[in-house]
A and B are shown apart, each in its own frame.
Chain A
Amino acid sequence: MKVTLKILKAEKIYAPVQIDELDEKRIVPNMMLRRRLTRNAKIMLYLADKCSYNNNKVVYGSAYGELQASTSITEAILREEQISPTLFQNSVYNTAPSYFSLLHSDRDEIITVSSGKNTSYEALRTAALQALISQEPVLCVVTECINIQRIEEVNTCSSYLEAGAAVVIDVIEEDSTKISELKESDNKKIMESLKHIWWIAENKNGEKFSIEL
């Protein structure tokens, strides 16, 4: 079953190692909350802010999730050190959208998708379902932060170790067979898990696409 999506907003950001300017002080004025944010959370909040989205349903995606937090925990266990409670609460894959919910007092549904290299495609399909069910625009964000010191197995596997893209989608009643299908970006520097959402974020504001639920 295919539905037609209209792209209401689309944004992306990336850096070879670390994204420098995420406007954190303005976006998260509460210092205590700001200090707890993970890199994925900072990027997600930045992209949501760029999309002017602060309420309703969110679908977040990440193939690697909070890898920095989970590796720090296993290293602490190996050293027989106490684990920081904040580190543990920040290790779950839904950490970034949970901070979004806290920041904006958004009490709506949050779904986190993690499907390896297909993550952004599956996140977009899930967001399309959520938009269809709620008949409201839905924010879909996918981020990856694999700038993990000491782990060369991941921190050399992509040209951009930090990257994210966000789209606000709405399902519209238009014959999906007459609309072009969602494609993946041919940007070789972007991690595979981001390629479908990246294609939309490459200046596709206002355009329409069809997607299989």
Chain B
Amino acid sequence: MNAYINAYASQSCAGNTDTLMDAIYKQRSAITIDSTYIKDTPVGLGKMNNGDFFTILKDVVAQVLETSNLSNFHDTLLIVGSSVGGMAESERHFFQDKNYKNINPKKHIISVIEDTLVEHFSFLSARSISTACTSSANALLLAKRLIKVGAYANILVVGADELCSTTVCGFHALGVLSSKPCSPFDEARDGMNVAEAVAALLIQNRPTKDAVELAGVGASSDAYHMTNPDPTASGAFSAMKNALEDAAVASEKVDYINAHGTGTVANDQVEALGVEKLFDDVYISSTKAITGHTLGAAGALEAVVVCEVIKKGQIPPQTSLKKAENKNIHLATRVYKREIKYALSNSFAFGGNNTSILFGAVQ
């Protein structure tokens, strides 16, 4: 059984899916410079600034339902991918009260997102995946496999992560935050932008109008280091290769790669090497230059971007690129209009957790 993405919606620092794509094609970064999270240190962050996170979460999922062929989610499996869950809410209580008394443990943990959506929409069943920055990419991986074996006809994948002090200060402690909008794959890049987003995709066993196929999934572990990627790129290479093999698609058939491309020195160097090893000539760009790194939501948000790229037939340019570090990969320097049959999206995470998703145009 094949898996099709039939409806989706998103909200990020660049707004909804329409405004996000507009920003991507016009190379207009939505990153803002913030000095409130880290004392005396300005950092570039991707903030949504348009209301309560859990209200946005429910709105995005409601938009998917509205544009789908379903009248409710009663026969739909929900798979959530998140790396922080309700941590931001816990932090607000803790920093105000300076104790844990008003923190509800059930609203702190990852499953608060799943619980909120189940309570509001009522799903057939639900589960949450938390593998740091590959969380929602792995949710997509499981969804594809569950559809393939015929276990479900409808699966809603939601990627959701809210900005919080723990992640901003944590990445600062690792020395990987940029004080300006990030510049993935650029020789002079100096780090990433932590960001927040909600993205939801309805995956079904039959295509509807304007569907995109969830064609192949692949994953691997680096088994190298908790935060640094394997410099030989073997983990990234394996994940991408596994996704192509799952779809039985040759590497030369891929028209575009939406890179993990965080803008950190280590990630971009290794990812570029992995792409160089596996592909001869494919356009690549990282849309994190527009959205920042939305952590556990990134896989789902970038899946929405790739669906739009395939439907529009327009390869996004690499924003903020002045001089590419790796000259052997084909970074898109402008918008290229062409038929896009297959596009790959990469997500890599702490613990050397790698996931690649291959999307295909429906003929």
Which A residues have a C-beta under 8 Å from some C-beta of B?
1, 36, 63-65, 70-71, 73-74, 77-78, 80, 82-85, 88-95, 97-99, 101-102, 104-116, 118-119, 122, 125-126, 129, 132-133, 150-154, 157, 213
Most buried by B among A74, A93, A157: A93
In the assembled complex, the Cα of A122 lies from the Cα of B225 at a distance in Å of 28
**B226 pairs with A83, CB closer than 8 A:** no
B220 touches A108 (CB 8 A): yes
B176 CB to closest chain A CB (Å) equals 10
Contact call B109/A63, Cβ cutoff below 8 A: yes
B: number of interface residues (CB 8 Å)? 61
* Interface contact A213-B110, CB-CB below 8 Å: no
Residues on B facing A (Cβ under 8 Å): 39, 83, 85, 87, 90-91, 94-95, 98, 100-101, 103, 105-106, 109-111, 114-115, 126-132, 138, 142, 145-146, 148-152, 165-166, 169-175, 219-227, 234-235, 238, 349-353
- Tell me whether B170 and A91 are in contact (CB under 8 A): yes
Query: Distance (Å) between the CB of B117 and the closest chain A CB?
Result: 12
B173 in contact with A83 (CB, 8 Å): yes
Contacting pair A93 B103 (CB below 8 A): no
Q: Is the CB of B227 within 8 A of A77?
A: no
B173 near A85 with CB under 8 A, answer: yes
Query: Given contacts A1-B149, A108-B221, A110-B353, could you give 19 more A-B pairs where the C-beta distance is less than 8 Å?
Result: A65-B109, A73-B166, A77-B166, A78-B98, A83-B172, A88-B170, A88-B171, A89-B174, A90-B226, A93-B130, A94-B130, A101-B221, A101-B222, A101-B351, A112-B131, A113-B128, A115-B110, A115-B127, A116-B115
- Compute how far the CA of A113 lies from the CA of B126 in the bound complex, rounded to whole angstroms: 11
Chain A minimum-CB-distance residue to B95: A78
Q: Are A113 and B129 in contact (CB under 8 A)?
A: yes
Residues of B within 8 A of A105 (CB): 223
